[in-house]
Amino acid sequence: MSDSENPPKDTIPPLPSNKDLRITLIGTGTIGLSFAAFHLTHLPSPSQLTIYDVRPNLSTYISNTLPQYLPPSVPASTISSIYIATTLPAAVQNAHIIQESGPENLAFKSKLWAEIEEHALKDALLWSSTSGILASAQAKDMVDKSRVLVVHPYNPPHVMPLLELVPSPHTSAQVIQRTRAFWEACGRVPIHLKKETTGFVANRLAFALLREAIHLVDEGVVDVRELDAIVESSMGPRWAVAGPFKSYHAGGGEGGLEGFFKNIGGTVQECWADTGKVEVGAGWEEEVFRQAKEAYGRVDVGERDRVTRRVLEVLREEKEGKEHSQA
């Protein structure tokens, strides 16, 4: 944790303890509701959560839609205790954390933050769930640009542990530090990106593999279902346990990652030189979309998320067991 080597001056008070924390969510699409489900499982009382959106009939919509995101441990009746705000000032004025998951539209977000800045507590953390609009752009109309931080989840955030923290050059170290502390205390994995980069890290990595996957299907080497089966029975479970660098470092034996490249760097370079360079809209779409539809129809994401939770539970147990045995 490189930040802890240079602890910032404590000019912002720490977040209140969990029982006194107030969180406001803005936007009720799939990401917003998934975050709502997450917070409901972690906050002692649902009345600590406020939701705001311009959507008509918001209360009814939330009552109908949110239950599907809740784990069995949270009764659906909990939802009636969430505070549904009817104006933005009312939504944000008391919150310690304000998390927006609104439209992916710079004009919307920059206007929103400028307005929030007028009404929010001076120390409130301001988080955007955006998957692509940089914090530096979002904060452009604010007086104090040090407050906005991208907190990008891996979908769906009520299941997946990752949060990419992507500050702008203006974001203060304290904002990053308090955000990280919040997510770590919740058992999540917040990773601080040191530079604002197109698509952040997780999507860039996943899309690089996806591009090669599309290329191989487009070339007729395997079909969509076979390609998925390959990933599910090899690098998926492997990388759930040990990321790519750790895996290849292990694969190199005593020589580590250097030994790995000494052994098969030639093959790696041959694969890189031969990598497909498909583009969006270049004509592979029709067949690949057709195969996906034929293979999967409508995916049961509830089932997928249930199994994912079981896998994550094994990984969490192992990690905690290891930390315990090292303590």
- Please state, in angstroms and as integers, the Cα–Cα distance from residue 82 to each residue in 42, 120, 215, following that order: 14, 19, 47
Q: Do 115 and 144 contact (CB within 8 A), yes or no?
A: no
Helices assigned H by DSSP within the chain:
30-42, 58-65, 88-92, 106-119, 135-138, 173-185, 202-218, 224-232, 235-241, 244-251, 256-273, 285-296, 301-326
Q: Which is nearer to a copy of itself, 54 or 189 (CB)?
A: 189
In angstroms, give the least distance from the CB of 125 to a copy of itself: 21
In angstroms, give the least distance from the CB of 44 to a copy of itself: 25
Q: Which is nearer to a copy of itself, 64 or 269 (CB)?
A: 269
In angstroms, give the least distance from the CB of 240 to a copy of itself: 4
Q: Which is nearer to a copy of itself, 63 or 155 (CB)?
A: 155
Q: Quote the distance between the C-alpha of residue 102 and its chain's center.
A: 15
Q: Which is nearer to a copy of itself, 119 or 238 (CB)?
A: 238
- Token pair, residue 228, equals 């998925």
In angstroms, give the least distance from the CB of 64 to a copy of itself: 16
In angstroms, give the least distance from the CB of 232 to a copy of itself: 5
In angstroms, give the least distance from the CB of 1 to a copy of itself: 10
Q: Do 195 and 129 contact (CB within 8 A), yes or no?
A: no
Q: Do 97 and 24 contact (CB within 8 A), yes or no?
A: yes
Half-sphere exposure of 182 (CA within 13 A, CB side): 26
- Token pair, residue 164, equals 């990419």
Q: Which is nearer to a copy of itself, 121 or 206 (CB)?
A: 206
Q: Which is nearer to a copy of itself, 114 or 193 (CB)?
A: 193
Q: Which is nearer to a copy of itself, 121 or 229 (CB)?
A: 229
- Please state, in angstroms and as integers, the Cα–Cα distance from residue 301 to each residue in 35, 297, 306, following that order: 16, 12, 8
CA angle 144, 147, 153 (to 5 degrees): 150
In angstroms, give the least distance from the CB of 136 to a copy of itself: 15
Q: Which is nearer to a copy of itself, 16 or 245 (CB)?
A: 245
In angstroms, give the least distance from the CB of 86 to a copy of itself: 28
Burial 4-33, CB ≥16 within 10 A → b, else e? eeeeeeeebeebeeeeebbbbbbbbeebbb
Q: Does residue 156 have a cis peptide bond before it, meaning omega lies within 30 degrees of 0?
A: yes
